[in-house]
Structure 1
Amino acid sequence: MRAAVIAIRAGIFDDVSEVDDVCAGHASSAAVARTACRPAAGPMPWAGDDVGGPMVLAAAGHAGAGASTVALAVAEGLAESRRVHLVDYAEPVRSGLVAASSIELGTDGAGWRHGRRGGLDVFRLARRSADGELPPVPETDDAERLVVVDAGWSLTCALLDFPGSLVRGAMVVVVTRVTVPAVRQTEHLLGAVDGTAVVAAVGPARWPQVVEASCGPQLRELRVRGRVVPVPVDRRLEPAGLTGDRLPKPVAAAGRALAALLVPSGSPQPRHRRRPAWSGTGPAGHTR
C-alpha cells in the first residue's frame, strides 16, 4: 500500500502488472483503477451499432476474472439455437481462447484468425496492431448472426474512459470473482455500463458474508433481481485453460443460464441451417 501511494504521488500509472490491477480494487477511488489500466487504443470499434447485428459483450470486472471462460460458455449456450460468432479482442499473447477452437481455418486480410468449435465460429486477432488500432468485427454473409465479444481486462478498462461508447445496444455480461477486492472493483464497471447488465460470479454459489457486505448498490440490486449467475471454478480448467474439449457440465450450465437472461426463450430467433451436433473432434489433422 505504501508503494502504491508513492507511485500515485509520483504520477506513475502506466507500467503496472495484472497483480497491481487487482490491488486497485482496494482503492476507494475509481480514478486510480481507471488510470492504472488505461489502454493505448481509443474508443473500440465494436459499439453495438457498429457490428451489424445484436451483440453480447463479456467484460471483466477486474484482472483475472475469467471473462474468456464465461464468454465461451455464453456463446455456446446461445449457439444451441442460433448462429453465433465469438470474437476475442485480446492481444494474441494474452488470448484465453488461443486453443479453444477444435478446427483452425486460417487468417484473413483483416487480421483475424478464424477457428471453429462445433457450431460456434471463433475469431481471434492474428497479430498485434503496430498503431494500436483494432479491426472491426469480422464481416460475414450472415447479417442475423449474434456476436459475443470477449473484451478481456485491458480493453474493458476503456469502459471507464468512454462510458457507454462500447455498449450502445449491446447486452453486457460483467464477470467477477467472489472476493472482496473483486466485487468492489466490479462496482466501478457496473457504473459505466449503459443499461442493465448480467453478472457472472466466478466462485462459490453461497457468498461469504464479508463479500456480501462489500457489494455496492448496483451489484446488490442485480443479486436481488436474480441477474447474478454463479459460475463454478473447475479444477481442470484452472491449470489447463480453455482447449478444444467440451466445457465442464457445471460451467456449460452456467453459460446457458446467462444466455437465457440475455436472450429470453420467447425472443425472436434468426433462421439458419442447423449444424450437426458437435462430437468433440474435427476432421483428421484438425483435432486438438
Structure 2
Amino acid sequence: MTTERVDRDSEAAGELEHCDRTLTGLACRSWQDLPTADVVAAVEAGELTTASQGAAAGQRVTSATATSAAAVQRQGLPPLSDATADWSGFGEAVIPVLSGSPGAGASVVAAVLSDALSSLRQRVLLVDTAEPPRSGLATAAAAEGPVLPGPHESVRVRQSQRDDNILLARVETDLPVLTPGMVPPPRFFKPTSGSIDATIVDIGHDAWRMATHPLAGSGAWMRTGSPPVRPIVVCRATRPSLLHTEQVLTRLETWNATGAITPPAQLVVAGAKKWPAGIPGGAGRRVAALLDEAVFVPHDPTTELSGVTDEPTPKQLRTAVMSLLGRWNLIAGSAPASSRRATARRSRKESQA
C-alpha cells in the first residue's frame, strides 16, 4: 500500500469520525434523556443521508429524527416507570406477537389470529409496530386508510380496513428510520370509533432489540395491565430457532422480575404440524416450560411465497389457533387443557423416539 493511499484512508477515517461526533452532538441536544438506542439510530440516519445528499442534509435528518423520538417518548409512560398500563378500549385481551428468531413468522401468526377472530365476527385491532420498509403486514389491506394525528408531525398512524372486522393500524414516518422511541404509545393506535374485542400486536423481528429495554417503543405493549396482556412468542421447529427463542426469553426474564411486563407464556410453532424427531430435546429451560401447550401452525406454500396479503389467511392456519383463542376465552369452546397437554406430551415423545 502506497503512502498516498494510506494518507487518503486516514483522511477519510478522520472525516467519518468528525461527522459521527457532530451528528451525535446534534442528537443528544434534542433531549438529555434520549435513550442511547435512539441516539445511535438518529446518527445512522444522518450518516446515510450525508452519504447521498451531503453533510448539511445529514445534520438536518439527525436533528429531526432525534427530536421526533424525544417528542414521542414524552407522551407515553416514562421508560423507567413501573406503572401498569390501562388497556381499556383495546378489547378483552392485548396479544403482542414476538418473533423468537429471524424469519419465524410472527407477522403471519398475527394475521392468522386476527383472521380467526374475524371469521367468528369478533372485531380486531391489528397493530403493526415495524418500520414500514420492513413490515410483514405492508400488504395486509387492499387499500390504504386515513392517517390519524400522531404524537409528532413526523410520526403518524395509518388505519386501514383489512376486512369488515379487522382494523389494521400501522406506524408511518417520513424520516429515514423509525427509532425504538419513535413508535407511538399504544393510545395513538386506538380506534376513533367503535368497540374492539381484542388487539393483536405484531412486534415481530424487533423482539430481540425490544427485549433490551421493553418499557419503551414497541415494548410498551408488553406492560402489565388490565385487561390482561397475553404475549406470544413464535418460533420454527428447528434447533437454531429454539436457541434464539431461549435467548429472547432470557432477556425478558430480567424485566419480568420487576413486575413491569408480562412475559410470553405461549409458544406458537410456525410452519410445522409437530416437532421433528429429537428437536424438543434441544430446548432451553425457558422454552421447555412452554412446550406442552405449544400451538402448531402448519406450513402453507402460498403463504410462504406471498406472505400476508389482503386475502384472508388459509382456513387450515386459522383452524390451528382456534384452541388457543378458546383457552383464553376469546371464543366459545376449546379442548380441555388436560387433553391438550396429553396430546403435546405424546407428540414430544414420538419426536424424541
Same topology, TM > 0.5: yes
Match of 1:49 among 82, 85, 97: 85
Match of 2:167 among 109, 121, 128: 121
Is residue 111 of structure 2 the alignment partner of residue 72 of structure 1?
Answer: yes
Deviations 1:176-208 (CA, angstroms, capped at 9, x unpaired):
011101011112333426345111101322312
Report the AA paired with residue 233 of structure 1: H
What is aligned with 1:134?
A: 183
What is aligned with 2:25?
A: none
Structure 2 distance, partners of 1:112, 1:252, is: 27
For the aligned residues, what is the CA RMSD?
3.1
Alignment of 1:196-211 (within 5 A): 197-211=265-279
Is residue 228 of structure 2 the alignment partner of residue 180 of structure 1?
Answer: no
What is aligned with 2:209?
A: 157
Unaligned segments of structure 1, at least 5 residues: 1-38, 268-288
Matched position secondary structure for 1:104: coil
Q: Which has the higher contact order (CA 8 A, sep 6+)?
A: 1
Structure 2 distance, partners of 1:77, 1:213, is: 31
Is residue 99 of structure 2 the alignment partner of residue 60 of structure 1?
Answer: yes
What is aligned with 1:85?
A: 125
Higher helix residue share: 2
When structure 1 is superposed on structure 2, of 162-171 and 202-211 the one drifting more is 162-171
Structure 1 distance, partners of 2:136, 2:104, is: 12
Structure 2 distance, partners of 1:120, 1:128, is: 26
Unaligned segments of structure 2, at least 5 residues: 1-39, 42-68, 78-82, 151-155, 257-261, 334-353
Q: Max radius of gyration: which structure? A: 2
The answer to whether the 8 Å contact 1:232/1:251 transfers is yes
Structure 2 distance, partners of 1:86, 1:100, is: 10
Structure 1 distance, partners of 2:157, 2:107, is: 17
Q: Relative to structure 1, is the Cα distance of residues 196 and 236 closer, same or farther in structure 2, using a 3 angstrom cutoff?
A: closer
Q: Number of aligned pairs?
A: 228
Alignment of 1:1-288 (within 5 A): 49-52=85-88, 53=90, 54-79=93-118, 80-110=120-150, 111-118=156-163, 119-127=165-173, 132=179, 133-137=182-186, 138-140=189-191, 141-142=193-194, 145-162=197-214, 166-169=222-225, 170-191=229-250, 192=252, 194-195=262-263, 197-224=265-292, 227-263=293-329, 265=331
Structure 2 distance, partners of 1:167, 1:211, is: 32
The answer to whether the 8 Å contact 1:86/1:121 transfers is yes
